[in-house]
Amino acid sequence: MSIEIDHISKYFDSTKVLNDISLDISTGEMVALLGPSGSGKTTLLRIIAGLEHHNSGYLRFGGRDVSHIHARDRKVGFVFQHYALFRHMTVADNIAFGLTVLPRRERPNGAAIRQKVVRLLEMVQLGHLANRYPSQLSGGQKQRVALARALAVEPEMLLLDEPFGALDAQVRKELRRWLRQLHDDLKFTSVFVTHDQEEAMEVADRVVVMSQGNIEQVGTPAEVWREPASRFVLEFMGEVNRLDGEIRGSQIHVGGYHWPLSYTPAYQGKIDLFLRPWEMEISSQPGEHCQLPVVVSDISPRGHYWQLIVQPAGWHHEPLSVVLPLAGTMPPHRGERYYLSGRNARLYVGDKALQSMALAESA
Ligand SMILES: Nc1ncnc2c1ncn2[C@@H]1O[C@H](COP(=O)(O)OP(=O)(O)OP(=O)(O)O)[C@@H](O)[C@H]1O
Report the DSSP beta bridge partners of residue 247: 252, 269
CATH class of 3-228: alpha beta
Decide whether any atom of ligand 1 lies within 6 Å of the 194 Cβ: no
Q: Which atom of ligand 1 is nearest to the CA of 52?
A: 1
Pocket test for ligand 1, best of 39, 82, 196 (most atoms within 8 A of CB): 39
pLDDT score at 356 = 67
**Which CATH code for domain 241-357?**
2.40.50.140
The answer to whether the CB of 38 is under 6 A from ligand 1 is: yes
How much is the pTM?
Answer: 0.85
Residue 266 confidence (pLDDT)? 86
Domain boundaries, the chain: 3-228, 241-357
Same fold, 3-228 and 241-357: no
Ligand 1 centre from 196 Cα, in Å? 17
Q: Is 43 in the pocket of ligand 1 (CB under 6 A)?
A: yes
Q: Which atom of ligand 1 is nearest to the CA of 39?
A: 21
- Ligand 1 centroid to Cα of residue 13, in Å, is 12
What is the pLDDT at residue 83? 62
Distance of CA 346 from the midpoint of ligand 1 (Å)? 32
Q: Is 40 in the pocket of ligand 1 (CB under 6 A)?
A: yes
For residue 10, the CA-to-ligand 1 centroid distance in Å is 11
Query: What pLDDT, on the 0 to 100 scale, is given for residue 176?
Result: 86
Ligand 1 contacts CB of residue 209 (under 6 A): no
pLDDT of residue 362: 38
Q: What is the pLDDT of residue 337?
A: 94
Q: Tell me the pLDDT of the chain (363 aa) as tens digits.
A: 999 999 999 999 999 999 999 999 999 999 999 999 999 999 999 999 999 999 999 999 999 999 999 988 888 988 887 767 899 999 999 999 988 888 888 888 888 899 989 988 988 888 899 999 999 998 888 988 998 898 888 888 999 998 888 778 888 888 888 888 888 888 889 999 998 898 999 999 999 999 999 999 999 999 998 889 999 999 998 899 999 999 999 889 998 888 888 888 888 999 999 999 998 888 888 887 777 899 999 999 888 889 999 999 988 788 999 999 887 667 889 999 999 988 888 999 998 888 766 665 433
Supply the residue whose CA is at minimum distance from atom 17 of ligand 1: 42
pLDDT at 131: 94
Mutation test residue for ligand 1: of 8, 17, 34, 164, the one with most atoms within 8 Å of CB:
17
User: Is the CB–ligand 1 distance for residue 35 below 6 Å?
Assistant: yes
Protein residue with its CA nearest to atom 1 in ligand 1: 12
